[in-house]
Structure 1
């Protein structure tokens, strides 16, 4: 069985030799464990590059890579703490940490891929299945972690990554080892088989991470381990209900696509299906547990519901794993400049008095396309810009058009620009300040009008987590003071909450 995968080239003219003696490798990993994270990662990367570009027998290569594994995971985690919490566009220091992390996982994958090809050449191998299982598992794990770096930077995993991922999994299928358990002792309680770690990599992509905040991308990267066992991979056959079914072309360089959106005739030989209906059902059960616990405060959350306690993340996952979403409105291409003001504070200034809006709170973007409920934008003006998924934005198409309110639903970063999807919330807003009886601090808030055509009641938008359902709040609009009853939560993002409200007392001034 031939296997063509992406590899680092062998450097026959290399002067330096890679260290493969176990005591020396252990000594090296112990030493760099005490260094600054970036320096330690750089030293590790140098050693991996040296190892991957020299001819070494498969057993020695695997042994050396396994000795590097613990420190690789630790450094990868520490690097993620920097770039995984950075705003977009990513600052230079965080970008360097992300580049280093991606390179480490790329080289780790190179090493195990080289070992896999070397194993195929061995004439006699009494541990063939065991070694193949370990090596393929490690390749997929490295690709999964490389993709996670991309997601946390809002970049798209490469075609090469998807090609290698599918090829090595297909190779495991041909060897019949996809369900063989791999002994794990480090940070991977849910990664036991090639089958499961491959599904995790697929689910992470299908979660549409470009539509998640960085905090939720990181939550999802841990949560996906407990979800994989509920997904099903199967060969092509009769599909009674295509919802929650995704097509994987194992001879392609593409991620899975919803079966309903596939335009090519599936191949029985190289295509398989991923079914996520049970994944969505499991998430829905956890969501019900969490929601029930909110109404029964004396009842602790079940252990399974504690894995992820972010209701909005669970709702997001149900949406993408359960029913294939369809676009409500068609996009229309539109090339036009637009101004954005990012954040609740900026919106409060704009809707209080347009004349007071200072230049520094605005950023300049280009509209790529529009639909009745939003925009797709891009900008090359990255200096002093900070934006994240879930961020409130005010948008103005022209000098004479009004400011309207929306929020960022997805981000993609490119080399020279950033692209963002904006979902519109309201055509106008009133800027107010609020103070809850239990808090002496005054916060900015926006009152949003009702929209009868959309069956949307009047609502109030505040910083995330400040208000609670069924509570009262004091509101000040100019010199007028009122008291509001906070009712049902309408919408929540990573940065704001929007509640229905009603007036208790109209004017306390």
Structure 2
């Protein structure tokens, strides 16, 4: 298939009559994804001014729904490795897909709320529960795409998702899967809420697809509550009348006298804890097949640990943030950071320029100004230094990327957590490898009261769990050779792992 392209609205075909639209929908999908999305949206809009019977409108809506789901499924794989910010061409496709999903969902909701056609619904091919399920699913896909491209949800999408679920509850249709579907309307809504509660900006696109899969499989473990019950640790609330996702009770109380919908993620968090224990123990007896295959990887287990915390024990922000506006230079990746700490091997001009917009004692929020950001990914380590700092090897701060947001191709914001005020370049000497193959790593010196032991930052998957002792060459003022062992795995992302280490005492 040729590379998909975006088609501007002015090149879309002129509106067709209802018969011509039905004939077009019977043709094979276009190889040009941009043209396919634009034409589908055009036919939806054309139906508003086309003379047709209710039966014809419902038939066209069914056909457009099937083509739209297929078209969006063609788009989402291209978002996994796209990087941020998205290229303009891909961003245009995302916009077309989300506009189509929203318009189609609102058409389904209009069917149920149009009093003129209400008496016809029972005689049509699709019953009310199927129509509501489709609307809920389309809105979920819209929000998933926003998460995959690290973009805020469009105005009105969350309000429509809340309203769709409320309509299903009013009609008693939320609990059972409609005919031809594999999940209930409530499960579709619950999986949408779970994705938002997982703080999607703090995960890569591939990790988000894994989270969405878990949420879909186990959305039934989310517990809707009639009243608040503070015995639950993973307690969230929704204001159904507001265009916003759920909020953790630990982070903010609902406004007084506001009717809210409560739910708890405790049951799901406990389930994931059991699954994670099974994976880490190497046992296959307790149903690890209930999770996607990605769960068995190092990155998958890292995501599970974070989900257990986000869903089962959401925490307040530890420190207040202060607004700032000074420039910094940033280099992404463990190798560049180790090189900068080692000396002038890497030119500082190769980095990218950013503006610090706010900071706290443990991190920063930054906005991209200039330079490449293609290598940047959530979970990677970066080197950070103010632009007015004197040149040289000093002044570089080791941080890890915690979240990323991108509203358009010219805009990228990231959040960084400070790993240590000072980091030391080092090399691991692994048995059986020659000197040229020794990987570069970082040592984070212990900080009294915060980090009692030295930490080691390595590429993900470098050290197996049973590595035992190994030799570490630390470049401090002089080269230090130490025999060390890992004592715990403190952090694990798709890019790096952070271990606590202990120096092995040499016998006298």
After superposition, residues 401-480 of structure 1 pair within 5 angstroms as 402-415=395-408, 416-434=410-428, 436-437=430-431, 441-471=437-467, 472-473=469-470, 475-476=472-473
2:493 is aligned to 493
| Residue 240 (structure 2) pairs with residue 256 (structure 1) | no
Report how far residue 352 of structure 1 moved.
Answer: 0.4
Q: Describe the shift of the 1:176–1:278 C-alpha distance in structure 2 as closer, same or farther (beyond 3 A).
A: same
What CA RMSD, in Å, does the superposition of the two structures yield over aligned residues? 3.0
After superposition, residues 348-359 of structure 1 pair within 5 angstroms as 348-353=338-343, 355-359=344-348
Indicate if the aligned counterparts of 1:248 and 1:257 stay in contact, CA closer than 8 A.
yes
Indicate if the aligned counterparts of 1:431 and 1:477 stay in contact, CA closer than 8 A.
yes
State the distance in 2 between where 1:59 and 1:165 align. 26
Indicate if the aligned counterparts of 2:330 and 2:353 stay in contact, CA closer than 8 A.
yes
1:10 is aligned to none
SS of alignment partner, residue 183 of structure 1: coil
Report how far residue 435 of structure 1 moved.
Answer: 5.1
Report how far residue 329 of structure 1 moved.
Answer: 1.7
State the distance in 1 between where 2:367 and 2:430 align. 38
SS of alignment partner, residue 433 of structure 1: strand
After superposition, residues 45-444 of structure 1 pair within 5 angstroms as 45-51=41-47, 54=50, 56-118=52-114, 121-123=117-119, 125-127=121-123, 131-184=127-180, 189=182, 192-235=183-226, 237=227, 239-241=229-231, 243-260=233-250, 261-268=252-259, 271-293=260-282, 302-306=288-292, 308-309=295-296, 310-353=300-343, 355-381=344-370, 383=372, 385-397=374-386, 398-400=388-390, 402-415=395-408, 416-434=410-428, 436-437=430-431, 441-444=437-440
State the distance in 2 between where 1:222 and 1:239 align. 28
State the distance in 1 between where 2:42 and 2:64 align. 12
State the distance in 2 between where 1:505 and 1:249 align. 58
Indicate if the aligned counterparts of 2:121 and 2:127 stay in contact, CA closer than 8 A.
no
1:321-342 CA distance string (max 9 Å, x none): 1123112222222222222111
Relative to the length of structure 2, the TM-score reads 0.84
Relative to the length of structure 1, the TM-score reads 0.84
SS of alignment partner, residue 454 of structure 1: coil
Aligned residues: 477
Q: Describe the shift of the 1:115–1:156 C-alpha distance in structure 2 as closer, same or farther (beyond 3 A).
A: same
Moved more, 75-84 or 156-165: 75-84
2:3 is aligned to none
State the distance in 2 between where 1:258 and 1:131 align. 35
Structure 1: 5+ residue runs without aligned partners? Answer: 1-13
